[in-house]
Every structure is written in structure tokens, then in C-alpha cells.
Amino acid sequence: MFSFFGNKDKADSRGERVLRPSIGWGRLLEKMRTQESLRILDIGPTSSSSINLVTGLGHSIYLANLVEEAIKPEWRTPAVDGGPEGIDVEGFLATHLNFSGRGFDVVTLWDTADYLPEQLVKPVLGRIYDAMVPDGQMLTMFHLSSTEASRGFYRYHMTGQDAIATQRIGEFPIVRTYNNREIEKLFADFNNFHFFLGKDNLREVLVTR
């Protein structure tokens, strides 16, 4: 469910946090430090440290946890003519990405797209595009490969440095991986995007509306 947080706090699940250098996050952080009263959309499991960081900088943060919601059976539609089950895309978007006319300056999508059912990926990105203000920026990440070792599902914590803190909170299979050309197609409607290759199994993409 889409929700808003001011200075409200919520306890994180206990688990080891590992700092990961992030060029993309560093650029968003600079934007948040030099501009006032921004609206931030953080997509993923709730992080109290992210909420506190954003509100401490004088901005508003809104939350949408899509991966754990997308696997719920109520969004499945019956198979047709022996094909695979479908997804109630419009119902899902209306429930979890109804922004009530708000426009966002910064979006952190993290690695959400890799875990969503494929039927949801483009519609979700389209809804986010519509909700971003001109020149708004979004940070997203894509796995380079899908292996048994990459089944971990992580909470991403914003920090006050050019790094994010990752915290493993469960296991979900990666639905698919995307190569650079496929990623470019996903963001074809956006103004521009920049790739940053990390030292781990993730590539970062900083996208501008």
C-alpha cells in the first residue's frame, strides 16, 4: 500500500547491513542536499533510517513496497487457452501506485524491476514516469546475472555518504535479468539515463525524466 511518512519512525528487521558504494545514490544525495522541499518516492521494504535521513534534510518521503505485494495471489488472473496465469495490472497499479496527483523529484526503485512479474514491469515504470516532475531523477539497479546465490532479497538504506547500506531480509527468485539494450528500451520515454557498473552483481542506472 502506498503511504506517506513525515518524521514517523518504524523499526527495521534485524540483520547485518553492508555498505555498498553507489555513484547514483551520491548524485541523488547531492540533489537532496542542495534543493528544498523535495518529494521522494522510495520503492521497497520500509527503512526507518531512510525515512529519518530524508525528513532530516527537509523533504517528504512516500513508500511503495511492490515486490512483496506483487506475489500475493489476489493479483493473479486465470490462465486463458492453456497459457500462463495473468496479472491484474490495473488493479495492482490502482492499489499500490495511486499517487493522488503528487509529483516526485526523486525516486529510488532499487532492484525492484528484476523481481516483478514481467507483465508489471513496463506498466510500473510508466506509472512512475507519469508521477515524476520534469527533470526528476530515479535510481534503479539491475542484476548482471541470475544465480542461486542471487536469490537474496534486500532492504536498501539511504545513507549520508556516497554509499547505500544493504540488508538481506529474505529470498525471492529474480524473475529475469536485462541487458543494456533491454534496459534502454525500458526507459525509452525518459529524457536520458546513465549506467554505472558496480563491483558486485549489480549495474546502476540513473534516469532523468
Identity of the highest mean pLDDT range in 42-56, 64-78, 143-157: 42-56
Q: How many CB atoms lie within 10 A of CB 135?
A: 10
Between CA 57 and CA 55 the distance in angstroms is 5
Q: Which residues of 151-176 are buried (b: 16+ CB within 10 A; e: fewer)?
A: eebbbbbbbeeebbbbbebeebebbb
Instruction: Give the pLDDT of residue 40.
Output: 98
Which bin fits 63, alpha (ψ -120 to 50), beta or left (φ > 0)? beta
Say whether pLDDT at 195 is over 70.
yes
Between CA 115 and CA 68 the distance in angstroms is 9
Say whether pLDDT at 91 is over 80.
yes
Rounded to an integer, what is the distance from CA 120 to the centroid of its chain?
13
Evaluate whether the domain defined by 3-77+84-208 bears CATH number 3.90.320.
no
Average pLDDT of the residues in 152-156 = 91
> Quick one: which of 100, 93, 9 has its CA closest to 50?
9
Where do the structural domains in the chain lie, given as residue ranges?
Answer: 3-77+84-208
The confidence band for 85, taking pLDDT boundaries of 50, 70 and 90, is: confident
Summarised one tens digit per residue, pLDDT across range 18-48 is 999 999 999 999 999 999 999 999 999 999 9
Say whether pLDDT at 51 is over 80.
yes
